[in-house]
Structure 1
Amino acid sequence: MPKKNYFVVSNPQGGWSVKSGGSQRASANTSTQKEAIEIGKRLATNNSSELTIQGKNGQFREKNSYGNDPHPPKG
């Protein structure tokens, strides 16, 4: 079973949403980006997946792996 990746995106009705990849419905809706990121981190950690965060300008600004990172840092 492929792992679900999660995305924090701006919500057209205002606020922020946490969505899983390929899903139309949001896993969570919040009023602040900070709350959405916290929920997204929890979901991604529980599912050993990735979290991608959209900035206020619409560009994706950050991506984090929680679990089996295919490219772990050396050292």
Structure 2
Amino acid sequence: MILLYLLHVTTVAHSESMLWTFLTCNVFVVTAGIVFMYKLFTQKNVRNAGIVFGVAIAINYILIAILGDPFDLLG
């Protein structure tokens, strides 16, 4: 089921372990983004949350660029 969900952008087959790596990283990016937006809108100290969110996005794109397909960056 995960393969069908993640192959909506590209038809390149990915290994199951790589998919779990991408999925875990994406869950962390979404969680960090939610925390960042919450702190931003409640006007709390957002510096650390912003740095964590930026690093998570950078790591996510690096993993996709190295282990994935260039078309994965579009999705």
Q: Same fold (TM over 0.5)?
A: no
TM interval, shorter chain, is 0.3 to 0.5
Q: Which has the higher strand share?
A: 1
Structure with greater contact order relative to length (CA < 8 Å, sep ≥ 6): 2
Please tell me whether Structure 1 or Structure 2 has the larger radius of gyration of its CA atoms. Answer: 2
> Taking structure 2 as the reference length, what is the TM-score of the superposition?
0.32
> Taking structure 1 as the reference length, what is the TM-score of the superposition?
0.32
